[in-house]
Structure 1
């Protein structure tokens, strides 16, 4: 953090107790649900030693320093008018969330941590909201007790703990903050980034049926990116988007860094897979995402219709735009022995829903 940012934070801290008791009484009651908004990958701020919410509000300069947004709770999956449409087994994978009372993933990103804060200190600070563990990338391979890059993940035992944490946060420019202290820094604002479950699916055009064979896999999606943002980007680039989904972990319901986009027409679908890569930007995060056809694991061979493979599902998909079909082993060998097709490579579906190219040995 540069000297200008530090000066700004010091100025904010010095003004915390400047309000009169009468002014503080005008602050609305904090019984509200704050809607999750766009939050970047890396954080700049944070928060700690306030023991309860009333004390926290009494130490905040609401009018001059922070912009608060009080919103009503989200009650269901938005943009999901699909009453008469059968949903294929591939899309969307998160529709069961509509029946759940959960609003957030139990996994929460926290960034901008003091460099000398230990794992135990983080646990002790956030345990007031519920039982949790602290994790960060490659933690099991390292003996370090400190998050190495200034960020970590809070994994709570209960989803209600996340809602409780959010209720205690301050919102500044659509970002959540809470203060935390370390041996060298007191009351440092850190950023809290929850994942709202309603952001996992977005229907851009409800009048169009979802066709799994016009669906692409997008790998390397920035984890804060919402489904509607992914849909907007792909629609701007290729047009014809009717649905976008963010792949989430089935247990924690946290983004896995991949997504799916369905198109309403073949031309947009082919244009997307022909591009192979697309630049995705979310705030200060920019990633080069890989685009591939979404491979299904329950398709019959398009040539023999299961006759040559005893009705088993086709294991191979040809992603070349001249094919875009499913093959059993026998039909792949025959069809791709033809001139101009011997260089095609089959795709199979990986366990994490990621299509991958495999080597094919000719008989």
Structure 2
């Protein structure tokens, strides 16, 4: 019989709520404790999810806790990751590991010494359409990937306060697709060129961020990729990936709302795209949690992103940040465990 994992959650914001609901719904997890820098918010959150509110230090010192889920603000991830590893906990850590690649590498090096299970929150690997795309690529249906085009366009701008702490579009939004590119192609990115602008919210120029960008990426085995990102569209959430090879093209399409298509008066009215990013990815959070819990209970699970995946996706993001600032192609730093 599988062990029920007793889980502590750190971070009671929006993503913390997503994880808390999934922990409650999963038959092999029990949400025991929650922590947040805002103690009042933690108390209210704990009451909603039938858990106890505690400080982070109390969670780490509680021997009954099996797993820590880090869903706090990005600048806190590295310290919490290392502390949880020292405490011998299994760890699910939201991306990125840190806003600094250098610091992320140092922390990961220390975490490895404790030999605890860790997964990094690249939940888009668990999108069913993306998984089917990867499987068909691995089966050789179109041959080797030669040209990859990726689109990530959110429907609405996040709050300004979120953007100020996010690390910027490359580390926050595009990083999911840097991970997807590596995972889909089983290849590494060697070089990046990025161009961006603050078109939807000019105020983010004050902290050197962009909300609209295009990137070119070169893969080690010769394939070429293009990624465009937007923080705001006028038409819904748009996420799609196409891969062309000598034998054809595979596409994981943007997804539509369920509904009826109406043909009338020489016009066609269709249901349209999903309204926001969460409508597309909500199920992937549960799927990654489930995969991690199954791995903790001894099952061999593929596709789980680990610490090396976190570092390599961040190395691509860092190269993109440099390219944006210096208007040039930038080599991706090689990182490995």
TM-score scaled by length of structure 2: 0.28
Q: Please say which structure displays the higher CA radius of gyration.
A: 1
TM-score scaled by length of structure 1: 0.27
Structure with greater helix share of residues: 2
